Structure 1
Amino acid sequence: MHLKNPLAMAVGIIAAAGHITQVHAQDNPGQSTQVGMLEEVLVTAERRPADLQSTPIAVTALSQAALTENDILDVTDMSGFVPNLMVTGQEEQSDIKIYIRGVGTNNPTETGDQGVGVYVDGVYAARAQGALALMYDLENVQVLRGPQGTLFGRNNTGGALLLQTVKPGHEFEGNFQTTYGSYNRQQVSGAVTLPVLDNLSFRVAGYSDQDDGWVNAISEDPRGSEHNFSGLSTGRTANVGLKLNNTDVRSARITGLWDATDSLSWTVSYETFTDNGNNGILLNPVLVEQDNFDSFIDSPVSLELQSDVWRSTVNFDISDNLNLQYIAGISDLHREQVVDQDGGITSRFQEGRTEYQDSTAESHEIKLQNIEGEVIDWVIGAYYFEEETSIRFDFDGQGSWLQGGNTFIQPARGTESGAAYAQATWHLTDQFSITGGVRYTDDLKYDRGGRNIQDCENEFIRPTLGGENLSVFEDFLNNTTGGEGADGLDDYTGRERTRGQCAATLRNDVESEDDQLTYLARASYDWDDSMVYASVSTGYRAGVIQDGGQATNPESSTSYEVGYKYQTGSFRLNTAAFFMEYDDLIRSGFDEDLNQIVNSNVAGAEISGVEAELTWMIGSGGQLDISGGYLNAEYTDYVVDGAGYGTNLTPIIGPDGEPTGFYDLAGNKLPQSPEFNLNTTLRWDFETAIGLITPRVNVRYVDETFFRDQNENGAPINNIINDEEQTGFYWGNPAGQDAYTKVNLGLTLDPGDSWSVDVFVNNATDEMTKSSASVDNNTAAGFPGRYAPPRTYGVRVNASF
């Protein structure tokens, strides 16, 4: 697609939007006394508070009230509520994968970074697992769409999520919330502000949410008894007492605010978060279609995850028009996890274990800006980030790449990143402004002492499966130099090395450095109740390191965007159209020669689309919210050596007229990039004798979504049920999700006495939707997948004081 097409489309949208809003304003003169009025929405998309309607960026802001009403508990629940935002998780790594306008990553491991940054009070959330359960006691959540390559910290090729927590005030106040619902859900949260001195106050907030899960652990293997378990005769026990796809999270946060002087303040917070839920359970689509959510679990599945984060902001007004901020964060994440990777569906026993993951990170940012300029608003800053992860992951089972056990021990995988940035907006007239910004980033990624240990003679690693403790099979190479030790003894255990048992087959030591200059150029024009803007911006995501001491180049994106914003007292309309060039995409594939997954810069893409968000206060009690997007995200250059499982790819023919074994994916859709998405909510306030009653209905539509680059149109069926091999061919989207519509319902009673009751039904139509798939042993309804919850209901009580 050429640039002129989306820009022409954008001009048409803006012209139409302007006409619509002008007609609306003319048809409703003086109606502000008859209808509800929209409140001002403050956002920090440009690193300073500003009205949403005067911010020339495609940004959506959700208040805590909106999050609570829509039962958005964590980042994963936001999918579908924001135009062109897709979020998947939690899954095998207790991770989240965020995609905005088709840009994101499916690599949540210690080697990768999100293409969409998550920031809490300005501090970058380094590990995806640590950003799951932060949706409580917030001022708002802001979703910035498009590359954010100048003002925000790291790797924001697709956009950024900004979470702003509630800060302590100077008066005693608080709130409380409790929910009871399906599957014995019991949720409690609350917060209180405690003034200590005139210039010192604290806020304490907490959150707890547990349920029994909606997947049933069964004792009888639905595959039968004849399939191959690699001679495994011990260690397999059906775990029937487990809670599966359950919620079990707790979090607490304490925030202190000290106004040392009229010009100097310090905000510091400590937050802890634990997650013990067993999510990401693989289910058979055939059974899911029958409302059967059974799973045969023969691994000791469990999750122990804890995250502790310190955040600090020192704010100093040097003068009446000059402000200095120092923003710092320190985080520590520990995770231990066992995942049943076959779920009683695939024909091979597979078990993955994160024996330990310890990730520590810290960031520092100094930002200097003017407070309010009549002619120019400017900001300059410097940023530093470092992270290091120690992790050991074990795999026992069968697969195309392994028969037996394998372990990956990475004692020190890390990142060091430094950046300097500057951005300024010149107000050339009262209506017309131009903005320019630039950022220089230097990233270092490393692996020090990482080893892949294999060649275990098809033996398993977990002792209860017949393996031995891995301390016997530690690194059989010198851990400092990677060479053979002179004494013939293992460096860790002091025991004699024995080839033919588990040996270090790959040394992963590597250092890779990238640097990039990213920029922003933008013009905006305001008139009456409207604003129009046009911008070009770039984004950058650092390359990834990988096993075998290899590294990729970085990804980069260039985005062209035009937008229009309009608001009267009761009506708001924001639209945007964009075109993005996405280069050097990092994709993963299995290398048979190396016998491992490898990452490479192998693809290019073009992404275009439009977005719109409308809020309309109707009459004296109604409110209609509509948001949606159109997305055309396609590969322009991507050659692979496998057609996948479908029949839709044409092989590349060589000069001799024979197939080369390669396939061109140009024209295929990017994963997690549905063409259309729409979210609509209607609520209406009714005054009654017992208080304000507000029914609401929310409808979300998401178009067909592919999870794999091949966009398969089908796959052979090779599943096993009761010892019978299932055969045939499934036509459709086996490794993806068909288009779907979900409906949420709610009814709130507010007597006006600082408390309210909310009754809700989520997914009222009981639509079962996949968030990801495992491309192994296809069924008559597609590949086994991980699903979002079925219909759930509950009652919530809110109180404030």
Structure 2
Amino acid sequence: MKRVLIGASIGVIGVSSVAPAAETRAVTEATTLEKVVVTAQKREESAQDVGVAISVLSGDELQARGVTNINQLQNEVPSLEIEPAFGSGQSQFRIRGIGFQDYGPNNSSAVGVYVDEVSYGFPVQTQGLLFDLDRVEVLRGPQGTLYGKNTTGGAINFQTRKPTKEFEGDVSIGYSSYDTKTIQGFLSGPISESLRGRFSYATEQGGAWQHNRETGEKLGAKDISAFRGQLELDATRDLKIALTASYGQDKSDAQGLYLFTARPHYGYAADTDLTATGWGRTAAFSRMIGVSQNQKPTKDNDSTNVALTVNWDLDTVKLTSITSTQNFHRRELSDWDGTSVNNADVYWKDDANIFSQEVRLASNKTTDLNWVVGAYYSSEKLNEDWYTDFTRDYGVITRTKYKQDGETQALFGQLDYKLAQNWKGIIGVRQEHEKRTISDFSTTTTPVQAWANVAGASSSLSTDGTSGKLGIEYQLDKNALLYGSVSRGIKSGGITAHNTFNTYALTPFEPETLVAYETGVKADLAVNLRLNASVFHYDYHNQQFQDITQSPSGALIGKIVNINSSAVDGGEIELNWIPLSGLTITQSLGYKHATFRDFKSLQLGDLSGKDQFMPKLSYGGSVAYAWGAAGYRFKLAGDYSYHDTYKSWLNIVNPDGGNVYDIKSYWLANARFEVSQVGAPWQVSFWVRNLFNEKYDLTRNFFGNRPGGTSDDLNVALAGQPRTVGAVLNYAF
């Protein structure tokens, strides 16, 4: 069996089952950077030949670094941020500052997430395990002329490993701090001469690193498992059919929140121990959702995904069809006040069903003209039923229910043409129609309050949009590419589906559009030194923002609104260097500066000309050294990342003194040591994550409750995990 590590920003070392002397040379004499093959443009090509800002991480490197959840990618890729909303499964993705904040699950993200070219319709679907991956490609900037979905921020594309023509298998068993146990493995090989199969499995168990500050009970244990089965059939020499089915289940504890300021009215001091939290709920709320009063915050989610991919080689053209269905069920109990006081306990019940069909026709042979045209259709259905316990402050429990139907139809295409020696032009266009409808919307209260009940409400949004791309590339020499582009992306509009008592909140918000101007260079300065850099300017219109609006009656209502005009400027630099045999160094730097050009907010005031609320700087890197001695292979590796201060608009909404809702800047560092015997199928890794036990937050928020007229706001934060240590045994066969 042969396994090769790849990475656009990660050093590579090939390992194969060959003679010990040859294998030792492969480990100790690796001084040339590997070619990284990507499919970002729907064909296999070197990442260095693609005029797009893209970062690639191999599946082997992700596994070695312990990246098993998509949220962890923000520590590996420049200009990428992933913020969990109140610690729930509703992640909020941002690339170059382009993102979307909404704790509700019904609206699409500005960043597309794909697995084997199948789009995940809702961000809440993305929290399953990452395992048995070939690579992840992170593209920055608007996407849509090559993709089924249209996005303004970018795309995160996961490519799984495929069935092999020879039998092989692998299993990894890990144990780490807080009694955490992990298993990953796969079996792959031929079933018949024309049929191949692959079965992959992963699970995480244990790891409760939080505790109840009042009872000492542990919280945070994982109970998450995932399976994937794949079949590949060579129906004929030119017709290949692939069927993939996956299932994931998550019965883990939900993460708790801690108090970063005191609540003297309720007898709580500020938590100095970031692993402290609390929970508890009223008897009425517990009966309503069917749990005990002392039930931990927990998840009970599952997902089933099936995709059928057909590739038909028609000589000069290639026909591709991708048909998929996704079913996602979410049952999640969260304690948003982080105490036994019942200020905000939440229970989510979501059921989502998504069908999509993509058909593409593409040129099949590299010529002066390469092109792809396609059609995309998706249908999304979401049923939501969620409860919030406001008994302590408002004397009611709210229940919000609705159904949402969404439909997307799109035609897209892109071509590149050799204009002259070393010059290439790119043009792409997309036309789409989208419709979203919310029906049977209701928010009711227990006990019933006549003034606070909405029933049978509905809302809909239908839009048409055109997006596209113009690009130019110049091959300076065989090792250096210069590129520039102007592209226009569109993010879907939507409907704010929070627990509202005013139907005006359901007025749709419009799609946002982004015109991106970008230029960059990709250069292999030597066989062992690679430097990629890009700069950009974004004109941002109708940016979607979680704010408030005023109804015709004069009432102020929480709602997602559109900002007239904004701008973002910035860039990234990525370096990959092998200065001497076995030593690999990577560096990445991202910077962005965003402003509101025209934004007058009822909640925040006139912010026109002011900076937007986002971190400006991201920095990361890694150092790895591999060597061989006495018939063994050794590798010592470390990686690190810096996250800049994240300023929050909540400081304006609730001026509690100082910028208490800002997330302070922080560093994270990890280290690992790997050892294996030359010619043997095993490897042992010892690792430390959050090496210096950095205390940091992933998000901060508040509930503006001021009991008795005192300033006693519920200020809560979601803490990052403290230092953990562990070991992994890997056996390949």
Greater alpha carbon shift after TM alignment, 570-579 vs 776-785: 776-785
Which residues in structure 2 correspond to 1:758-769 (within 5 Å)? 758-769=685-696
**Contact 1:712/1:734 (CA < 8 Å) preserved in 2?**
no
Q: 1:292 to 1:769 in 2, by over 3 A?
A: closer
In 2, Cα distance between equivalents of 1:45 and 1:789: 33
How far apart in 1 are the matches of 2:228 and 2:30? 39
Q: Compute the displacement of 1:746 (Å).
A: 1.1
| Match of residue 453 from structure 1 | 444
Say which SS state the counterpart of residue 545 (structure 1) adopts: coil
1:185 paired residue among 180, 183, 187: 180
**Maintained 8 Å contact 2:347/2:388:** yes
Instruction: Indicate conservation of the 8 Å contact 2:650/2:661, yes or no.
Output: no
Cross-structure match for 2:9: none
Letter paired with 2:311: N
Q: Distance in 2 between matches of 1:627 and 1:164?
A: 23
- Please give the alpha-carbon distance, in whole angstroms, between the structure 1 residues aligned to 2:52 and 2:440: 44
Q: Relative to total residues, which structure has the larger strand share, 1 or 2?
A: 2
**1:581 alignment partner in structure 2:** 539
Q: What residue in structure 2 maps to residue 386 of structure 1?
A: 379
Residues 781/561 of structure 1: CA separation in 2 closer, same or farther (3 Å cut): farther
Please tell me the residue identity of whatever aligns with 2:485: S
Which residue of structure 2 aligns with residue 127 of structure 1?
122
2:721 is aligned with 1:794: no
Q: Quickly say closer, same or farther: Cα 1:35–1:261, change in 2 above 3 A.
A: closer
2:133 aligns with one of 114, 138, 141: 138
2:589 counterpart of 1:628: yes
SS at match of 2:142: coil
Measured against aligned partners, the alpha-carbon deviations of 1:144-199 in whole angstroms (never above 9, x if no partner) come to 00111311122410000101111101110011111100111100010110311111
Distance change in 2, residues 1:399/1:106 (3 Å): farther
Matches of 2:452 and 2:704, distance apart in 1: 31
How far apart, CA to CA, are the structure 2 residues paired with 1:296 and 1:418? Answer: 46
Counterparts of residues 126-275 of structure 1 (less than 5 Å): 126-219=121-214, 241=217, 243-275=218-250
- Cα RMSD after superposing both structures: 2.4
Shift of 1:798: 1.6
The partner residue of 2:473 within 524, 528, 535 is 524
1:709 to 638, 649, 661: 649
Cα 1:690–1:714 shift into 2, 3 Å: farther
Match in the other structure for 1:473: none
Aligned to 2:606: 664
Q: Deviations over 1:696-730 (max 9, x none)?
A: 22121111112x336659942xxxxxxxxxxxx4x
C-alpha offsets along residues 608-651 of structure 1, whole Å, 9 cap, x if unaligned?
111011110121110001111111122222222334xxxxxxxx
Q: How many angstroms apart in 1 are the aligned matches of 2:531 and 2:201? A: 36
Give me the TM-score of the superposition, normalised by structure 1. 0.80
Q: Deviations over 1:19-60 (max 9, x none)?
A: xxxxxxxxxxxxxx9751111101111111110000000001
Aligned to 1:417: 408
Secondary structure in 1 matching 2:396: strand
| Local SS of the residue matching 1:509 | strand
Distance 1:639 1:374 in 2: 52
SS in structure 1 at match of 2:145: coil
The answer to whether the aligner puts 1:774 opposite 2:719 as a matched pair is no
The change in CA–CA distance for 1:446 and 1:110 in structure 2 (over 3 A counts) is farther
**What pairs up with 1:342-491 in 2 under 5 angstroms?**
342-344=337-339, 349-354=343-348, 356-397=349-390, 402-410=394-402, 412-454=403-445, 456-457=447-448
Distance 1:571 1:177, change over 3 A: same
Identity %: 24
Partner of 2:627: 686
CA distance in 2: counterparts of 1:104 and 1:399, whole angstroms: 34
Q: Which stretch of the first structure deviates more once superposed, 592-601 or 537-546?
A: 592-601
| Native 8 Å contact 2:603 2:653 kept in 1 | no
The question of 1:756 aligning with 2:683 is answered yes
Equivalent residues of 2:195, 2:231 under 8 A apart? yes
- Cα deviations by residue, 1:479-502 (Å, 9 ceiling, x for unpaired): xxxxxxxxxxxxxxxxxxxxx4x9
1:491 alignment partner in structure 2: none
Q: Which amino acid aligns with 2:621?
A: T
Q: 1:398 to 1:598 in 2, by over 3 A?
A: farther
What's the secondary structure of 2:61's corresponding residue? Answer: helix
CA distance in 2 between partners of 1:59 and 1:343 (Å): 39
Distance 2:236 2:495 in 1: 47
Alpha-carbon deviations, 1:385-432, whole Å to 9, x = none? Answer: 1100111011111588x541211111x202100000111100123411
Alpha-carbon distance change, 292 to 314 in structure 1, aligned in 2, over 3 angstroms: closer
In structure 2, the residue corresponding to 1:736 is in which secondary structure? coil
Q: Distance in 2 between matches of 1:382 and 1:688?
A: 55
Query: Aligned partners of 2:724 and 2:94: how far apart in 1?
Result: 26
Q: Is the Cα–Cα contact under 8 Å of residues 508 and 546 in structure 1 kept in the other structure? A: no
Q: Is the 8 A contact 1:249 1:275 kept in 2?
A: yes
Question: What CA deviation, in whole Å up to 9, does each residue of 1:746-768 have, x standing for no partner?
Answer: 11112221221111111111112
Are residues 1:311 and 2:251 paired?
no
2:226 partner SS: strand
C-alpha separation in 1, matches of 2:317 and 2:338: 59
Per the TM alignment, residue 440 of structure 1 is displaced from its structure 2 partner at its CA by 0.4
What residue in structure 2 maps to residue 659 of structure 1?
Answer: none
CA gap of 1:196–1:619, structure 2 versus 1, over 3 A, is same
CA distance in structure 2 between the partners assigned to 1:289 and 1:532 by the alignment = 52
Matches within 5 A, 1:314-329: 314-319=310-315, 321-329=316-324
- Asked if 1:291 is matched to 2:273, the reply is yes
Give the TM-score normalised by structure 2. 0.87
- 2:539, 2:392 → 1: CA distance? 37
Structure 1 position 455, deviation (Å): 7.4
C-alpha displacement at 1:140, in angstroms? 0.3
* Structure 2 CA distance for aligned equivalents of residues 276 and 556 of structure 1: 38
Is the CA contact (8 Å cut-off) linking 2:258 and 2:274 kept in structure 1? no
> Offset of 1:348 from its aligned partner?
5.7
Q: CA deviation at 1:454?
A: 3.5
Unaligned runs of 5+ in 1: 1-32, 221-239, 459-499, 644-662, 717-728
Partner-residue secondary structure (3-state), 1:257: strand
SS at structure 2 position matched to 1:171: coil
Bigger mean CA deviation after superposition, 777-786 or 514-523: 777-786
The secondary structure found in structure 1 opposite 2:535 is strand
Q: For residue 107 of structure 1, what is the aligned residue in structure 2?
A: 102
3-state SS in 1 of match to 2:191: strand
Which amino acid is 1:704 matched to? T
Offset of 1:599 from its aligned partner?
2.0
Unaligned runs of 5+ in 2: 1-27, 262-268, 282-294, 498-502, 706-710
CA offset at residue 777 of structure 1? 6.5
Distance 1:322 1:602 in 2: 44
Q: CA 1:747–1:453 in structure 2 vs 1: closer, same or farther (change >3 Å)?
A: same
Counterparts in 2 of 1:362 and 1:544: CA distance versus 1, 3 Å? same
Bigger Rg, structure 1 or 2: 1
Amino acid at match of 2:404: R
How far apart are the structure 2 equivalents of 1:403 and 1:587?
A: 30
The answer on whether the counterparts of 1:91 and 1:279 sit within 8 Å (CA) in structure 2 is: no
